[in-house]
C-alpha cells in the first residue's frame, strides 16, 4: 500500500514532466527546488491556495507540516522555479508567519469547504468546520508565498 501511495503522490510530477501538467488546472503548480543535502533539483506538485496577480505570487501550504522534504529544502534555499500551466518562472519562496497562514486557511475553507474538510482529514489536522476552527488548524500548517522574480 505504501508503494501505491507513493506512486499516486508522484503521478502529477510525471504529468508535468511529459507536458501534461497543465491538465491539472490553475489550482496546481510544480515547484522545482534544490535538495538541501544532495544539491539536486527536486520537484513537488502543490495546490495553489491563493494567487495574487498584482504581486505575481502564489501561496501554497505544506499539508504534511514543516517536516515535508520540499518545505525543508525551500527554507534552506529559497530560490525556486515554479511551473504554472506551461509557463516556468523563477521565484523566491517566502515562509509566512503562522497568523497569516491561519487567516489564509480560514479564507480557503470558506471558498472550498468540501476540499478543506477532505484535506484536513487526509493530513490528520483537526478542524471543527467553523471559520475559527479552520483558522486554528491553519496555525499548525506552514504556508509559503512563492514570489515570481
Domains (range + CATH), the chain: 2-148 (2.30.110.10)
H or E element at residue 144: strand 143-148
Helix (H) or strand (E) holding 99, with range, is: helix 98-111
Residue 33 neighbours by CB under 8 Å, 6+ apart: 41, 42, 43, 44, 70, 73, 74, 77, 80, 81, 93
Q: Are 39 and 12 in contact (CB under 8 A)?
A: no
Q: What is the pLDDT of residue 7?
A: 64
d(CA 69, CA 8): 17
Instruction: Please write the tens of the pLDDT for every residue from 67-107.
Output: 999 999 999 999 999 999 999 999 999 999 999 999 999 99
Residue 121 confidence (pLDDT): 85
pLDDT at position 2: 65
pTM of the model: 0.89
* pLDDT at 62 (0 to 100): 94
CA-CA distance, 134 to 76, in Å (whole number)? Answer: 28
- pLDDT reported for residue 127: 82
pLDDT tens digits in sequence order for the chain, 149 residues long:
567 666 677 889 999 999 999 999 889 999 999 999 999 999 999 999 999 999 899 999 998 889 999 999 999 999 999 999 999 999 999 999 999 999 999 999 999 999 898 888 888 887 888 899 899 889 989 999 999 99
Q: What is the pLDDT of residue 6?
A: 66
Amino acid at each position: 500500500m505504501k508503494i501505491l501511495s507513493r506512486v499516486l503522490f508522484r503521478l502529477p510530477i510525471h504529468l508535468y514532466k511529459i507536458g501534461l501538467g497543465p491538465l491539472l488546472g490553475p489550482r496546481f503548480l510544480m515547484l522545482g527546488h534544490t535538495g538541501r543535502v544532495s544539491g539536486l533539483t527536486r520537484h513537488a506538485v502543490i495546490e495553489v491556495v491563493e494567487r495574487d496577480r498584482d504581486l505575481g505570487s502564489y501561496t501554497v501550504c505544506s499539508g504534511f507540516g514543516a517536516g515535508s522534504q520540499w518545505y525543508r529544502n525551500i527554507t534552506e534555499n529559497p530560490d525556486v522555479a515554479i511551473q504554472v500551466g506551461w509557463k516556468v518562472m523563477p521565484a523566491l519562496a517566502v515562509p509566512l508567519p503562522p497568523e497569516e497562514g491561519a487567516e489564509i486557511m480560514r479564507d480557503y475553507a470558506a471558498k472550498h469547504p468540501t476540499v478543506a474538510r477532505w484535506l484536513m482529514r487526509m493530513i490528520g489536522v483537526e478542524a471543527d468546520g467553523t471559520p475559527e476552527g479552520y483558522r486554528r488548524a491553519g496555525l499548525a500548517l506552514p504556508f509559503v508565498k512563492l514570489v515570481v522574480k
